Amino acid sequence: MPVSKKEISPCPLDAALSIVDGRWKGTILWRLSQQPMRTSELRRSIPGITERMLIRHLQDLVRDGIIERIEELATPTRVRYQLTAYGLTLAPHLEALCAWGRIHLERTKPVNQK
């Protein structure tokens, strides 16, 4: 009988990566690790992301307890997203990966752009 990977042994690294597994989730978390942001601000800061994809990623991250949705007391209602206390425990690891990614981008940049 085929057994799914999850049924056998959940890999902790996979579990962590599954949180940021999404076209733009890493970028969203990176932005929110700098400061809380409104949906519209997030969207402007991530060129190319669609409204639908942004909302879906935000919902996933809220569901996973990494970010929270805060309704500001204003008219019209404004919503901002921020990392939860739990999400903040992930942030340093993402920052370390980001630093590595900077080196990696530099390393993989075409010679004529260096």
Min dist CB 54 to its own copies, Å, is: 13
Contact with its own copies (CB under 8 A) among 68, 102, 110, 114: 102
Task: Assign 3-class secondary structure to 32-90.
Answer: HHHCCEEHHHHHHHCCCCCHHHHHHHHHHHHHCCCEEEEEECCCCCEEEEEECHHHHHH
DSSP helix/strand/coil, 17:
helix
Contact call for residue 15 and its own copies (CB under 8 A): yes
Contact with its own copies (CB under 8 A) among 21, 40, 51, 59: 21
Site of interaction with its own copies (CB under 8 A)? 2-5, 8-17, 19-21, 24, 26-27, 29-30, 47-49, 65, 86, 89-90, 92-94, 96-105, 107-108
